[in-house]
Structure 1
Amino acid sequence: MPQINGGSTETLIPAMIIFSVIVSTLLGMPNEIVNSRNDGVYRNYKINGISKISTLLVPAISTAVHSFIVSCIIFFTAPMLFDIESKYSLISLLIVFFCVYITCSGIALIIGSISDNTSVTVVLAQIIFLPSMLIGGLMIPTSQLPKSLIKFSELLPTTYAMDLLEALNNINPSKYSSLLSILVLLSVGLIGYIVANYLFRFDVTDKSKKKIIALFVLLPFVINILFL
């Protein structure tokens, strides 16, 4: 990262924390959901009367605990390993962690709910993961992107996460207010959980609902781009 962005050491700790959340949610949770469905685990849940939302909260909560532990390890060890100092407050990092986790876990639950196999989950997750890494502010500040990519980057949760970090700490000029970034991220996450609950299937034999509904999760991003 320093070779790409000379100032990346300043944002290394939050970028690594956000990266760990994205990997745990987008690349991990969907596969767990699909495998459990295909192996008949969720069929047993349905027989025993366990609700959809309770079923979805199992991977969401377990992944949250895992992500938080990893983030704590990063926060306490990165300054020693990389000889850097974090200029961001602990409270701001906790707020960003919470918002990013809610957002990415909501999206991950949708991917797991609509995917029939793990090959599909990988493709769908990469559509969000790769752009988030490249143009979402983790490796290169969005302000340094070509104008043609800036609008596209506003469809990515990491863009709002990194901007929120700057807004909360008043270090560099932020594009959005902290309240707006929080509202956008939490709205995406909330819609994600609602849509995932609607589209979730306990069994591979269950009829799939209209998967196009999954795109509703992008609505807060689109509204922000067009009207705010």
Structure 2
Amino acid sequence: MNAFLAYLSLQLKLDVRDRGTLLNFYLVPLLFFFVVGAVFASVNPLTKTTLAASMSVFAVTMGAVMGFPPPLVKLRETGTMRAFAVNGIPGPAVLAVHALSAFVHLLVVATVIGVAAPLVYHASVPNNPSRYAVVLVVLLFASISIGLAIGVTARSQTFTAMFSMLVFLPSLLLSGVMFPTSMLPKILQWVGYIFPATYVLQSFYGWAYHAPTHMNPGVSLLAATIIGMALLTYALWKYGRNNKMELR
């Protein structure tokens, strides 16, 4: 356990020093919040009600889907994962360290957004902060599970960027972060149900803000959790399969 915590502490520091991670975890999400948040708040004052939730979904999704997978692929490309396995360090433990590190960084960003939104844009404070926190944890879990799945599936950095973009853009455009899903054609609304961000945003609205939703908030939260569990299971299975093939 001491070795695990030491590795986690080291990874947190390395993430902060890595320009790519810093860009995707902190700089771009926060810049998006301050710039696009200002646009949303001025163009449509109604968005102030759930601005913190919408911007948190964007920040967490971007960090987990765009910023989290590349380091995992790099570990495999450079042979670091193989070296860990040869020296008896369990691969799942390495994945867990990187996942927890991403969880901490993204939690910090989401907290900054949650605190800054009411102060900067006079956004509404959640009616139920504890439920807001629960939904945020589910968002982090589901999004990081997506990142894990991409990281163990992509064969190179190029494929990683492609897979990440194929997940990130629909998550942003079809979930209701940028505009209400009611404005989308029915077929695109159904496609949006593939992504956890859609369910999490409904849970934020209904559970934390007591706002009207078109889905049951509790069912939405359960759906996002199930998707996260399924992706985590797949990621562990895929890693084990890849590891066996590499050690042959």
* TM-score in same-fold range (> 0.5): yes
1-side partners of 2:228 and 2:209: how far apart? 25
Q: In the alignment, does 2:61 pair up with 1:9? A: no
Aligned length: 206
Structure 1 residue matching 2:246: 3-state secondary structure: coil
Q: Give CA deviations for 1:34-67 in whole Å, capped at 9, x if unaligned.
A: 0111112112210122223212111110000001
Please give the residue correspondences for 1:145-184 in structure 2 after superposition, counting only pairs within 5 Å. Answer: 145-169=184-208, 171-184=210-223
TM-score (norm 1): 0.82
Kindly provide the amino acid, as one letter, of the partner of residue 151 in structure 1: W
1:118 alignment counterpart: 157
2:22 alignment counterpart: none
2-side partners of 1:81 and 1:202: how far apart? 48
Identity across matched positions, percent: 26
Q: Give CA deviations for 1:108-165 in whole Å, capped at 9, x if unaligned.
A: 1111101111111111111111111112110112233222321111112111011111
Kindly provide the amino acid, as one letter, of the partner of residue 112 in structure 1: G
What residue ranges of structure 2 are gaps of 5+ in the alignment? 1-38
Q: In the alignment, does 2:246 pair up with 1:206? A: yes
Once the two structures are TM-superposed, the CA of residue 105 in structure 1 deviates from its matched residue by: 1.1
1:196 alignment counterpart: 235
Q: In the alignment, does 2:132 pair up with 1:100? A: no
User: Could you tell which deviates more after superposition, 160-169 or 56-65?
Assistant: 160-169
TM-score (norm 2): 0.76
Question: In 2, are the aligned partners of 1:52 and 1:197 still within 8 Å (CA)?
Answer: no
Q: In the alignment, does 2:103 pair up with 1:64? A: yes
Q: Give CA deviations for 1:68-126 in whole Å, capped at 9, x if unaligned.
A: 11111112222222233334432222122111111111111111101111111111111
1-side partners of 2:214 and 2:90: how far apart? 41
Q: After TM superposition, where is structure 1 displaced by more than 6 Å over at least 4 residues in a row?
A: none
Query: Larger helix proportion, structure 1 or 2?
Result: 2
Question: In 2, are the aligned partners of 1:5 and 1:140 still within 8 Å (CA)?
Answer: no
2-side partners of 1:94 and 1:155: how far apart? 23
